[in-house]
Amino acid sequence: MSKSLSIIGCGYVGCVTGTCFADMGHEVTLVDIDPSRVYSINEGHSPIYESGLEDLIKENRKRICATTDLRTAVNNTDITFIAVGTPSNVDGSINLTYVFNACKEIGEILREKDSFHVIIVKSTVFPGTTDTQVRQILEEHSGKKAGIDFGLGANPEFLREGNAVQDFLSPDRVVIGADDPRTANVIRDIYAPLNPQIFTTSIRTAEIIKYTSNAFLATKISFANEIGNLCKTLGVDSKDVFDGVGMDSRISPAFFRTGIGFGGSCFPKDVCALLSGARDCGEKLNVLNAVIATNEAQPLRLLGLLKRHLPNLKGKTIGILGLAFKPDTDDIRESRAIPVVSSLCSEGAEVIAYDPAAMDNFRHIFPHITYTSSASSVLEADAVLILTEWKEFEYLDYSGKIVIDGRRIEAARNHATIYEGVCW
């Protein structure tokens, strides 16, 4: 049955969640403090770069409206998802300001609302946040009791950028955290049109499932990269190794692509938040400390390989192919291109960069490097570094070039005159 939902936050998660819920037949009000995001959605445009999202917004315009007015949105709906950002503080701990601010406002509105409203935290928060702090803020500001006067749940999100719509509409599982059966049923009904595999548990367990999933995938990547570094020294191709290892059904081949490590808005932030939260609980997560250390070192190995061929980078032009943290996104948050470009600049190299989607975002943090509108002009440089595996890089002519490859582009591997892969 169709539900009336409000989603607080129109970023990657809020916008995709709201649009997909509308596509499933629900009436959706999207809320953001950023009026440009709201305007964009109401005009039928996606406020974020995400394949297929704009078409889906247009197809479901009847059931989607966006606003900056949180009060009206919550008042006019029965269920509210909180999907605001939870960025890192400088010490790696999680910044919950946006979540708490949204909860204060929601609490005030619940004070005047008679019907049973359900609030669901979709943002990634440290285990224990929702059933303690979030609950306390909502109860204090509404004067009501969670589980009795209003519902409170956690429903972490597992979508990947670049594949977000598909991931949302065909999830491996939906994790529902609720400490009362009425709330669990409400969340289950919302997802019913997808007929997904559902895992229902407590709020706190749902929160830690999210962190553990991201931390495990990040661990797989750093582990693969360490073995990949050893493979390089031994003259072995790490791709062959992980193709062989991944055939074991207990292991799975996913997330074994070796290279310059993981970036993005989730893995680095969530692993650091887990480490920081565990430390506060008096627990030491040694494996995850190593995962981060390996990930920090990995992009710099690329520079070591470059110097085998160009020992002095001062005054040399170095071409960069790819700035986004992965292909099919314009997102550069924690991109491995950031430490690479930073090191090149500090060694006096002239950097010329190309990315099909992420150059505008990169320009904000590196305004002084040269950006070019074609991948082929990057190949004019003294050497080329490949940092993101965009499909179009498979179709360039690498003959006569020095290429140091952090993402395994076969065309470069087969045709560059001098070629180094970071783990192969």
Give the shortest CB-67-to-ligand UDX separation in angstroms. Answer: 26
Report the site for ligand UDX in 305-334 (rule: CB under 6 A).
325-326
Q: State the binding partner of 102 from ligand UDX, ligand NAD, none, CB within 5 to 8 A by kind.
A: ligand NAD
CB closer to ligand NAD, 162 vs 319: 162
Residues known to be catalytic? 266
* Cα 409 from Cα 400, distance rounded (Å): 16
Interaction partner, residue 151 (ligand UDX, ligand NAD, none; CB < 5-8 Å by kind): none
Interface residue with ligand UDX, options 27, 50, 131, 161 (CB under 6 A): 161
DSSP 11-57: SHHHHHHHHHHHHTT-EEEEE-S-HHHHHHHHTT--SS--TTHHHHH
Torsion angles phi and psi, residue 277, rounded to 5: -65, -40
Site membership for ligand UDX, residue 116 (CB under 6 A): no
Please enumerate, as own/partner, the contacts of 248-256 that have beta carbons within 8 Å and a separation of 24 or more: 254/220, 255/217, 255/220, 255/221, 255/224, 256/220, 256/221, 256/224
Q: How far apart are CA 242 and CA 255, in angstroms?
A: 10
Nearest-5° angle of CA 89, CA 256, CA 319?
70
Neighbours of 274 (CB within 10 A): 24
Q: 266, 288, 340, 384: which one contacts ligand NAD (CB under 6 A)?
A: 266
C-beta of 264 vs 319, nearer to ligand UDX: 264
Task: Kindly state whether residue 95 participates in binding ligand NAD, applying the rule CB under 6 A.
Answer: no
Task: Give the residues across from 420 on adjacent strands.
Answer: 404
**From 22, 24, 53, 84, residue interacting with ligand NAD (rule: CB under 6 A):** 84
Give the number of residues in contact with ligand NAD, rule: CB under 6 A: 27
Contacting ligand NAD within 325-364 (CB under 6 A) = none
Residues flagged as binding site:
32, 37, 86, 124, 158-161, 210, 255-259, 263, 269, 326, 333
What is the residue type of 164? A
| Binding status of residue 406 toward ligand UDX by CB under 6 A | no
Judged by CB under 6 A, the residue of 159, 187, 275, 357 near ligand NAD is: 159
Euclidean distance between CA atoms 8 and 29, whole angstroms: 9
Binding residue positions for substrate = 158-161, 210, 255-259, 263, 326
Cα separations (Å) of 29 from 64, 77, 81, 344, 365?
A: 6, 8, 10, 46, 33
Among 23, 50, 161, 405, binds ligand NAD (CB under 6 A): 161
Q: What is the DSSP annotation of 262-284?
A: --SSSHHHHHHHHHHHHHHTT--
Does residue 294 bind ligand NAD (CB under 6 A)? no
Q: Does 69 bind ligand NAD (CB under 6 A)?
A: no
Nearer to ligand NAD, 102 or 422 (CB): 102
**Secondary structure of residue 377 in the 3-state scheme:** helix
Name the burial class of residue 42, with classes exposed (0-12), middle (13-18) and buried (19+) by CB atoms within 10 angstroms of its CB.
Answer: middle
Binding mask 252-281 for ligand UDX (x = CB under 6 A): ---xxx-x-xxxx-xx--------------
Instruction: Tell whether residue 81 is a contact of ligand UDX (CB under 6 A).
Output: no
Distance between CA atoms of 337 and 362, rounded to whole angstroms? Answer: 9
Question: Site residues (CB under 6 A) for ligand UDX?
Answer: 157-161, 214, 217, 221, 255-257, 259, 261-264, 266-267, 325-326
Question: Site residues (CB under 6 A) for ligand NAD?
Answer: 8-14, 31-34, 37, 70, 83-86, 98, 101-102, 123-124, 157, 159, 161, 265-266
